[in-house]
Homo-oligomer: A and B are copies of this chain.
Amino acid sequence: VALYLLKNRERVLKPLILSLQEAQHCIFPCSLCGFLDETDPCLFCKDEKRDQSLLCVVSDVADLWAIEKTRRYQGLYHVLGGNLSLTEGIAPKDLRMASLLKRLQGKEAPREVILALSPTVEGQTTAHYVRQEIQALGGSAEVSTLAQGIPLGGELDYLDEGTLSLAVVKRKHFEAS
């Protein structure tokens, strides 16, 4: 890579330096939600067409992008900036919690907080912590979490036992018709 850059000094290296400089000076976390954007508030927070009553809590911007790509979510976001982790040394104070709790207290507080955190030990620990903090506030916001179960496509006998077991236990009942 280094040799390629030096060989294509004008065509590749210079535009790369300019782009990185631009990123350094122009892209910052939104002071409301933590999304990285050129404006503050970011494009999501200032978009009045989005459903202001829904707030989706994600651990990082990549997860926000993943949810945004589904095009099925039209509410607001809040980026925590990571998951609680002993091994990586991420403690509650390292998460964007104060601003989240503040958003739930104003008079424009969302009606529902969706915890869209990864189905890993760290993600679920973080979800538990965030949920406790929100309930300790005593506000009126409802808390929900992503549906867990078997993913779309694929075959049952290739699924891990944990997921299949959970899908059996949390099976969905059809309403009689």
> Residues of A with Cβ closer than 8 Å to B?
56, 58, 62-63, 65-67, 69-73, 114, 116-120, 131, 135, 142-157, 159-174, 176-177
Q: How far is the CA of A150 from the CA of B156 in the complex (A)?
A: 14
Partner of A168 from B62, B73, B155, B162 at Cβ < 8 Å: B73
With A148-B149, A150-B119, A163-B151 as known contacts, state yes or no: A168 contacts B131, CB within 8 Å: no
23 contacts between A and B (CB under 8 A): A56-B168, A66-B159, A66-B164, A72-B165, A116-B168, A117-B156, A120-B155, A144-B172, A145-B174, A146-B172, A147-B147, A147-B148, A147-B150, A147-B166, A147-B167, A148-B150, A148-B152, A151-B151, A152-B160, A152-B162, A152-B163, A152-B166, A153-B162
Residues in B neighbouring A160, C-beta threshold 8 A: 151-153
Taking a contact as CB atoms under 8 Å apart, the answer to whether A72 and B135 are in contact is no
Report whether over half of chain A's contact residues are helix, strand or loop; otherwise say mixed.
Answer: mixed
Tell me if A157 and B120 are in contact (CB < 8 A): no
A132 and chain B: residue at smallest CB distance: B177
B114 touches A171 (CB 8 A): yes
A155 to B161, CA, bound (A): 18
A156 contacts B58, CB within 8 Å? yes
Given A154-B120, A156-B63, A168-B72, A146 contacting B149 (CB threshold 8 A): yes
What separation, in Å, do the CA atoms of A148 and B163 have in the docked complex?
10
Query: Which B residue sits closest to A73, measured CB to CB?
Result: B168
Report if A167-B150 is in contact (Cβ < 8 Å); known contacts: A67-B156, A131-B174.
no
